Chains A and B, each alone.
Chain A
Amino acid sequence: MKGFWQGRRIPLSWLLLTRQPVRLLVALAGISFAGILMFMQLGFRDGLFDASVTVHRLFDADIVLISPRSASSVRMAGFPRRRLVQTLADPAVEGVTPVHWGLMLWRNPETRRNRAILALGFNPDDPFFNDPSLDAKTGVLKQKGRILFDQLSRPEFGPIADWYRQGRVVETEIAGNRVRVEGLVSLGTSFGADGNLLTSTETFLDLMPQKPTGAIEVGLVRLKPGADAAQVVERLKERLPDDVSVLTKQGFIDFEQNYWKSSTSIGFIFTLGAAMGFVVGCVIVYQVLYTDVSDHLPEYATLMAMGYRLSHLLGVVMREGFYLAALGYVPAYLAGQGLYLFVRDATKLPVGMDLSRALTVLTMILVMCMLSALLAMRRLIDADPAEIF
């Protein structure tokens, strides 16, 4: 307690900021703007990458097999179905589900235009989704020529969901074969797929007769409770020949996201956008703090002339930067929330505030503010106090 009272001082940083309320508001507006810019860019980027794996996340699997020649969900190559059966020899494996995966040409029943849709084919008796309410709907696929249509697909595929809800029989053609919509599911669009449909293995192979027999694109592997997925992945890699890649479910998600992040210009553009937000933010904050510190420089020089140490003054300015960052972050955070809500409504992209992004932006604002404050103090470091006032 004694130390506290001895250490207590006039809150100089706070007074320096608040005795000029208009300037403080302008500074806060600049910092908030920089924060909003970063929230926007990072939100879009993460939202789009998140959307690219909405389907991947839904699979009921601990380990996923794919072909090493697969590049992404829009270019999946096949591998021998035998490999999936071989994994059953591992004591930790409980069950497997083979999945056919490919893009098909869907004819819009209203305009009769064709458009590529992502089709997944699997045995309706096998567990497929980790959401039981989704799995419950797949029973209807046992009849040939039936599909489940993703109601979040883009409207270019036709008013399928509306027609279905009105009780109409919705039929259309895929690659010259007649199919019938037997239900709706909610999966979501992504970079690669403007729409999704689910069907049985049999129907899938009917729609794609040119596919080599015995090949599948994705193999889902479920483990017994308590098994360590990473260890099993290692074991399977040793056991299986290298015409198949063994990934954990997270690895499968990362595989897809990495493709969009690093192998396409989309990832580059949004990362660049976020970087631009940071740079523009830095420039704004530096301008604001530089004028503020320059304006007070004679006063800092006076304090140095009185015998205050340089480190003490740097502390004062750092605290100023900290207060500005903290005060400017709050409106940026709130505006970010509001904008995410708006974007979610307008685009159906899963854009939301998550803790790690909130912290990232907070850290960036703090770094920007404190660094700018220190940079603006350079003159005080080199000059004699008498040169400044």
Chain B
Amino acid sequence: MAAVIVENLCHAFGQGEMRRQVLQNISFSIEPGEVVLLTGPSGCGKTTLLTLIGALRTVQGGRVNVLGQPLDGAGRRCRQQVRRQIGMIFQGHNLLRCLSAEQNVQMGADLLPGLSYRARRDEARQWLRAVGLEDQMAKLPQDLSGGQKQRVAIARALAAHPRLLLADEPTAALDSRTGREVVELLQRLAREQSCAVLMVTHDPRIVDVADRLLQMEDGCLLNAVQ
């Protein structure tokens, strides 16, 4: 069973005169353990596609099936259950301002059922170490650099043991070496836990980790490149 199946997905913003078609007839699928890169010019609808797959937006037209759950016409409870199994790395980090780096990551680990507080905290620390932030754990987001914030956001997404990882330009604020390390971490995760990864990126240096490359332009998917 594929982790993500998208068929004839369409999406538009606005009403009446202002209505603009952002996604048109998108169809593709991702297998568990596969790493797929999504590229395309700014404003072509990549983030919109990601939020639709992540059950953060209501599907308007077409079919979206994530981890065996159809999302078109799904209720609130069902979408919440799906989100729980998805790790989302946002373009704007979206860290909680009032929590330290460690606590932010633990908000991800707290979603794991049946673990003690200590186990969840250790989980959070382990992921922070994995992204190279072991000495920044107590800092608030406002005291972290852009790249450090991005890595906290990655650790938070991974701490919930997702079966699907949606990453919106996770390496945008990182230098080439750190960016490389982070992407390899994601790739290893995909292999070991057969987690599917869909990553938006403009970074040509990391194209080689992908199993597949999807290219978008003006809301349409160009022919897939292997």
Contacts and interface: CB of A to CB of B under 8 A. Distances in A.
A299 B110 contact: no
Interface string A96-120: 0000000000000000000000000
A303 B80 contact: no
Contacts of A346: none
A15 B100 CA distance: 10
Contact of B98 (A16, A309, A387): A16
A386 B47 CA distance: 10
B interface: dominant SS: loop
Contacts of B84: 306-307
A254 B92 CA distance: 65
Contact of A386 (B57, B108, B116, B160): B57
B73 to A, nearest CB: 14
Contact of B80 (A16, A20, A310, A389): A310
Nearest to A14: B98
Given A307-B85, A384-B57, A9 B97 contact: no
Contact of A306 (B103, B116, B160): B160
Interface in A291-316: 298-299, 302-310
B45 to A, nearest CB: 13
Interface string A46-83: 00000000000000000000000000000000000000
A306 B97 contact: no
Nearest to A6: B116
Contacts of B98: 12, 15-16, 19-20, 299
A10 interface: yes
A378 interface: no
Given A299-B96, A302-B90, A385 B56 contact: yes
A386 B80 contact: no
B108 A299 contact: no
A305 B92 CA distance: 13
Nearest to A309: B80
Contacts of A384: 56-58
A306 B106 contact: no
B94 A302 contact: yes
A384 B80 CA distance: 11
Interface residues of B, number: 34
B88 interface: yes
A307 B110 contact: no
Interface in B20-45: none
Interface residues of A, number: 27
A10 B114 contact: no
A307 B84 CA distance: 4
A9 B110 contact: yes
A319 B76 CA distance: 23
Nearest to A19: B98
Residue of B106, B110, B114 most packed against chain A (CB within 10 A)? B110
A10 B57 contact: no
Interface string B93-127: 01011110001001110110011111000000000
B178 interface: no
A5 B108 contact: no
A370 B110 CA distance: 25
A168 interface: no
A299 B83 contact: no
A310 B56 CA distance: 13
A307 B56 contact: no
B69 to A, nearest CB: 13
Contacts of B118: 5
A8 B108 CA distance: 14
B54 interface: yes
A38 B32 CA distance: 61
A337 B88 CA distance: 53
B9 interface: no
Contacts of B54: 305
Contact of A15 (B51, B76, B81, B99): B99
Nearest to A18: B98
A10 B103 contact: yes
Nearest to B88: A305
A298 to B, nearest CB: 7
Contacts of A298: 94
Contacts of B90: 302, 305, 389
B80 A302 contact: no
Nearest to B82: A307
A5 B56 contact: no
B167 interface: no
A12 B110 CA distance: 12
A231 B106 CA distance: 67
A12 B106 CA distance: 11
A325 to B, nearest CB: 20
Contacts of A387: 57
A377 to B, nearest CB: 14
Contacts of B160: 306-307
A281 to B, nearest CB: 27
B199 interface: no
A303 B57 contact: no
B86 interface: yes
B180 to A, nearest CB: 26
Given A307-B84, A309-B80, A389-B94, 10 more contacts: A5-B117, A5-B118, A10-B103, A19-B140, A298-B94, A302-B90, A306-B111, A306-B156, A308-B80, A384-B57
9 contacts: A2-B116, A5-B116, A6-B117, A8-B117, A302-B94, A305-B88, A307-B85, A308-B80, A310-B76
Interface of A: 2, 5-6, 8-10, 12, 15-16, 19-20, 298-299, 302-310, 384-387, 389
- Sorted from nearest, which 4 A-B pairs have the closest CB atoms? A307-B84, A386-B56, A19-B98, A307-B83
